[in-house]
Amino acid sequence: MSGRIPKKRVLATVAAVMGIAAWQAPAASASVPLQYTTNRYVGSAVAAAYLASETDYRAVLTREFDNVTPENEMKWGTIEAVRGQYDWSGADAIVRYAQTHHKTVRGHTLVWHSQLPDWVGALPADELRRVLRDHVTTEVKRYKGKIRAWDVVNEIFNEDGTWRDTVFHQKLGEGFVADVFRWAHAADPHAKLYINDYNIEGINPKSDAVYNLVKTLRRQGVPISGVGIQGHLSIQYGFPGQYRENLARFAKIGVETAVTEADVRIPTPPDAAKLATQASYFGQLWDGCHAVRKCVEFTTWGFTDRHSWVPDVFPGEGAACLFDENLRPKPAYFALNP
């Protein structure tokens, strides 16, 4: 990536500071923070409340990662639950933290059918289009120059590759996607703009739909920069097939890819065998991204099991992050940082 320091040079510098011989991999107990082990952006989703209230959470985040994604603070339902009444407090706090600690920010997410204010769905088509344009423009302009990349549209396809039946698709048609990318680009021409979805790690009908849409948008001159591949996995299912090939085919049509929301859930309670499998899955996600030059980012959806979303959504599963509840690194962490 342009402007990033090569991994070996960073490791040599950090090793020297830590008193470790250059080019020698540090022992697990003295591992180099993740952000210094790669020339990709390494990030985590974060919550403003935990940043403010938990010093150990903040310390690990600051040490390990050079990119942050607001978990909920930039979603439409958070910033404008009541029409015309904005709450930027959480998003602003995360952006200030990132600026203070010299980290980049991934904006998440501008257009999503979920966590959407109730009042949006009731709008007639012509008004919905105006409101959607205003929403995208207002949010992107507020953080102009402060957001490296935006998840512009999120989760617009079903598993079989058909369009998800959302208020945006129902009332505005497929063209809303091109519109929001153009509006976002006009608001901040320097931000990278992504389409983002889950279960598109490998080659399947859903990732085919994303691939075909991106090709179409590119032909139309729509300013789409990349594809966000979320990476929500479970060890109860096999690792996605043709993962590297999938990343490579997006690179061939000229767009970046990023792993944007990686976690690997396991049936609870965890044991050594489950944690080893989890580590293998994280390692494959990480290594696959590094095998494709235009895969530019590896972000996890939270970094500690203390605050993972998984147990609430998948009963009986959990322990999905790189660090446990006490912020101790798990085998998965060392799969990325041997």
Nearest Cα to Cα of residue 168 among 159, 176, 178: 176
- 121 backbone dihedrals φ, ψ, rounded to 5°: -65, -20
Domains and CATH numbers, the chain: 1-29 (no CATH), 33-336 (3.20.20.80)
pLDDT digits (tens, 9 = 90+) for 127-175: 999 999 999 999 999 999 999 999 999 999 999 999 999 999 999 999 9
Residues 71, 139, 201, 261: which is the catalytic one? 261
Residues 73, 139, 155, 256: which is the catalytic one? 155
Q: Using a cut of 0.75, tell me whether the model's pTM lies above it.
A: yes
Q: Indicate the range of 16-25, 195-204, 236-245, 318-327 predicted with least confidence.
A: 16-25
pLDDT value for 6: 39
Chain-wide mean pLDDT for the chain?
Answer: 92
Q: How far apart are CA 215 and CA 73, in angstroms?
A: 31
* pLDDT exceeds 60 at position 22: no
221: left (phi over 0), alpha (psi -120 to 50) or beta: left
Given a contact cutoff of 8 angstroms between Cβ atoms, the answer to whether 218 and 253 are in contact is yes
pLDDT digits (tens, 9 = 90+) for 206-263: 999 999 999 999 999 999 999 999 999 999 999 999 999 999 999 999 999 999 999 9
Given a contact cutoff of 8 angstroms between Cβ atoms, the answer to whether 274 and 267 are in contact is yes
Mean pLDDT to the nearest integer, 67-83: 98
* pLDDT exceeds 90 at position 7: no
- 75 backbone dihedrals φ, ψ, rounded to 5°: -75, 150
pLDDT value for 10: 38
Residue 220: helix, strand or coil by DSSP?
Answer: coil
Find residue 295's DSSP bridge partners. 257
Q: Is 127 annotated in the active site?
A: no
Nearest Cα to Cα of residue 316 among 264, 262, 265, 263: 265
Mean pLDDT to the nearest integer, 65-90: 98
Sorted by sequence, the CB contacts under 8 Å of residue 329 that are 6+ apart come out as: 31, 322, 323
Joined tokens for residue 224: 């789409």
Q: Is 261 annotated in the active site?
A: yes
